[in-house]
Amino acid sequence: MAYRIAEIELTEPLTPIALTPEQAGLAILARWKGRLAGFHMASAAPGYIFSTDEIQALCAKRFGRRLIALEVEAALAQRWATDADAPVPSLCIAICTKDRAQRLARLLNSLMPVIGASRFRVTEVLVVDNASVDSATRDVVAGFSGLRYVFEPCAGLDFARNAAVRHATGNLLAFLDDDVVVDRDWLDGLFNAWRGCPDAGGFTGLVLPYRLDTEAQVQFELRGGFGRGFEPKTFHAASADNPLHPVGSGVIGAGCNMAFDRSLLLSLGGFDEALDTGAPLPGGGDLDIFYRVLRSGRAMVYEPRYAVYHEHRETLPQLRRQYWTWGLGFMAFLAKSRRSDPALKRKQSAILRWWLLDKLADLGVAACRLRIDELRFLSAELWGGLVGMAGEYDRSLQRVQKIREQSS
């Protein structure tokens, strides 16, 4: 089961869209005057042809109101008195990569043209090679001009991110994972987010699917994927709408596309190297840094224009493993926060109960409806969570200590 991804510019006339016999649905990525305006997945029979009327009706229902909002936003910029803009910060872009030279090249190909047109002063693009086993990564970097290559011998994503924090220059530091490709509006989006809230401690952006060619990729996206919607949001240390905030920091964004005030990262002591270590604990690092930024009193801004396309897991076993790591990473993060930030003890306990009951209820519903894949995803996540609760963070601390000793 695959979905066809169709990018539609809504200011232009629509045309029918035909699916191939392998495609069981259409994913519309809508733009309005070049700006990302919405994403919607519609299932259909293989080989189905969506007529222009059908596409128009879908767009009217799913994106119509958003289009008005985009127009209003533009008009407001004219109408509202503008504050004096803060001086534009400089920006360093860091890509942490490990043994994925091809994907790195793909990302760099999408990134370089975007940087050329930036309103930020981009100080450098830093590729942090996270203990790759061969020289392929170095070779790719050599093929582009103006990149800076840093080798981080300690294997683990947050080791690599901390290496970036140490080596980077510039006021803002944007992180990209190697399995994404940036949207042409990516840097403009980040600029927009910064200008709307210059005192924010961090920024996150939209993560769209790079392709939907396999069952696993479609299922992941249908279950919500990394999507956080097309409305910008600002997060603070507390929220009137969500009493568990900021402990449930997953709503803020995803680690594959985030940026921070670099001096804030330095003062927070960087990323927690015992999280996001790659196997066996490949998660939780982003939750932890979002949480700590908010707890430091600085805001986090989610901006949909600051968008990347992520290559989702290809096979169902990989996807199940990803859900397992979500459960594991979240619980490891929670275990850490309970220790390091007892002031929010009540919220931390409440979210534990919330998470368990929520997953169990979903599991019950999936079981009643005999949705086998769903059951397996949920049980993987739940199992990961239970393992995470059972001392995974401490085990990870010990492993990380060993890695540090080996490399020094």
Query: Considering the rule CB under 8 A, would residue 86 count as an interface residue with another protein?
Result: no
Binding-residue pattern over the window 110 to 149 for another protein, x denoting contact by CB under 8 A? ----------------------------------------
Segment near another protein (CB under 8 A); pick from 134-142, 276-284, 331-339, 351-359: 351-359
Question: Is the separation of the CB atoms in 173 and 262 below 8 Å?
Answer: yes
Min CB(387)–another protein separation in Å:
22
If the CB atoms of residues 63 and 326 are measured against another protein, the closer one turns out to be 63
Min CB(211)–another protein separation in Å:
26
Segment near another protein (CB under 8 A); pick from 95-103, 156-164, 230-238, 368-376: 230-238
DSSP H stretches of helix in 80-156: 101-116, 136-142
Size of the site for another protein (CB under 8 A): 51
Question: Is the separation of the CB atoms in 190 and 303 below 8 Å?
Answer: yes
Q: Which residues contact 73 (CB under 8 A, 6 or more apart)?
A: none
Q: Which residues contact 75 (CB under 8 A, 6 or more apart)?
A: none
If the CB atoms of residues 141 and 193 are measured against another protein, the closer one turns out to be 193
How many residues make up the chain in this entry? 408
Query: Considering the rule CB under 8 A, would residue 196 count as an interface residue with another protein?
Result: yes
Q: Which of 193, 307, 319, 389 binds another protein (CB under 8 A)?
A: 193
Query: Considering the rule CB under 8 A, would residue 222 count as an interface residue with another protein?
Result: no
Q: Are strands 172-177 and 90-97 parallel, antiparallel or unpaired?
A: parallel
Q: Which residues contact 341 (CB under 8 A, 6 or more apart)?
A: 295, 348
Q: Which of 7, 22, 73, 139 binds another protein (CB under 8 A)?
A: 73
Segment near another protein (CB under 8 A); pick from 19-27, 261-269, 321-329, 355-363: 355-363
Min CB(58)–another protein separation in Å:
10
Q: Which residues contact 138 (CB under 8 A, 6 or more apart)?
A: 129, 132, 149, 151
Min CB(331)–another protein separation in Å:
17
Comparing CA positions, the residue from 184, 189, 177, 161 lying closest to residue 311 is 177
Instruction: Spell out the SS3 assignment of 208-234.
Output: EECCCCCHHHHHHHHCCCCCCCCCCEE
Sign of CA dihedral 356, 318, 250, 331: positive
Q: Is 370 left (phi over 0), alpha (psi -120 to 50) or beta?
A: left
Q: Which of 6, 69, 88, 105 binds another protein (CB under 8 A)?
A: 69
d(CA 203, CA 196): 11
Binding-residue pattern over the window 377 to 406 for another protein, x denoting contact by CB under 8 A? ------------------------------
If the CB atoms of residues 166 and 353 are measured against another protein, the closer one turns out to be 353
- Buried-state track 294-307, b at ≥16 Cβ within 10 A, e below 16: bbeebbbbbbbbbb
Segment near another protein (CB under 8 A); pick from 44-52, 90-98, 218-226, 231-239: 231-239
If the CB atoms of residues 277 and 337 are measured against another protein, the closer one turns out to be 337
Query: Considering the rule CB under 8 A, would residue 218 count as an interface residue with another protein?
Result: no
Question: Is the separation of the CB atoms in 270 and 163 below 8 Å?
Answer: no
Min CB(78)–another protein separation in Å:
8
d(CA 161, CA 360): 34
Query: Considering the rule CB under 8 A, would residue 231 count as an interface residue with another protein?
Result: yes
Q: Which long-range contacts (CB under 8 A, 24 or more apart) does 188-191 make?
A: 188/117, 188/118, 188/119, 188/305, 189/303, 189/304, 189/305, 189/306, 189/307, 190/91, 190/120, 190/259, 190/303, 190/306, 191/118, 191/119, 191/120
- Interaction with another protein in 27-66: which residues (CB under 8 A)? 32, 56-57, 59-61, 63-66
Q: Which residues contact 215 (CB under 8 A, 6 or more apart)?
A: 1, 316
Min CB(79)–another protein separation in Å:
6
Query: Considering the rule CB under 8 A, would residue 365 count as an interface residue with another protein?
Result: no
Binding-residue pattern over the window 269 to 308 for another protein, x denoting contact by CB under 8 A? ------------------------------x-x-------
d(CA 386, CA 50): 45
Q: Which of 45, 75, 372, 390 binds another protein (CB under 8 A)?
A: 75
Residues found near another protein in the complex (CB under 8 A): 10-11, 32, 56-57, 59-61, 63-73, 75-77, 79-81, 83, 193, 195-197, 199-200, 231-234, 236-241, 243, 299, 301, 350, 353-354, 357-358, 361
